[in-house]
């Protein structure tokens, strides 16, 4: 079964660092892109960025560039989303999702989603 399994919920204080994970299984992890999507409480979906684990090619939304870091360890089929200094406004559900590679540098829609990781930042 093709699936993405995300790490568990986190409760952090402002200023702390955090790295959440997304482990792929049931498919060739290095042949698909993995993206990250934020959903703040009661709000819509926001595309944060995406990585191709095969060569670590990474793209960021301008809204999230410099705010988070996306990485991947293909040896363990896991992608990561990390913050160096959390803010209360980072409180949200974060989803990882898989996208097909289209040509050499493009990606398709998200066909497989993780279950989500809830991040709560509060003093």
46 binds another protein per the rule CB under 8 A = yes
Q: With binding defined as CB under 8 A, does residue 111 bind another protein?
A: yes
Among 51, 68, 86, 114, indicate the residue that binds another protein (CB under 8 A).
Answer: 114
Residue number, 13 or 106, with CB nearest to another protein:
106
Question: Side-chain half-sphere of 57: how many Cα atoms within 13 Å?
Answer: 12
The two three-digit tokens of residue 30, written as one number: 């290095």
According to CB under 8 A, which one of 18, 47, 64, 74 is a site residue for another protein?
Answer: 47
Q: What are phi and psi of 27, to 5 degrees?
A: -155, 175
Total interface residues for another protein by CB under 8 A:
23
| CB 120 to another protein: min, Å | 16
**17 vs 97, beta carbon nearer another protein:** 97
Sheet strands (E) in 2-105:
3-6, 10-12, 18-25, 32-39, 45-52, 57-60, 69-73, 78-83, 92-102
């Amino acid at each position: 079964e093709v699936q993405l399994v995300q790490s568990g919920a986190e409760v952090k204080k402002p200023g702390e660092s955090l790295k959440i994970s997304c482990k792929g299984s049931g498919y060739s992890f290095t042949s698909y892109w993995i993206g990250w999507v934020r959903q703040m409480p009661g709000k819509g979906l926001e595309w944060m960025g995406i990585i191709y684990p095969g060569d670590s090619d990474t793209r960021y939304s301008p809204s999230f560039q410099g705010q988070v870091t996306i990485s991947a360890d293909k040896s363990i089929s896991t992608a990561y989303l990390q913050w160096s200094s959390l803010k209360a406004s980072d409180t949200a559900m974060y989803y990882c999702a898989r996208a097909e590679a289209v040509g050499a540098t493009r990606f398709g829609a998200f066909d497989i989603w993780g279950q989500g990781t809830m991040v709560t930042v509060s003093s």
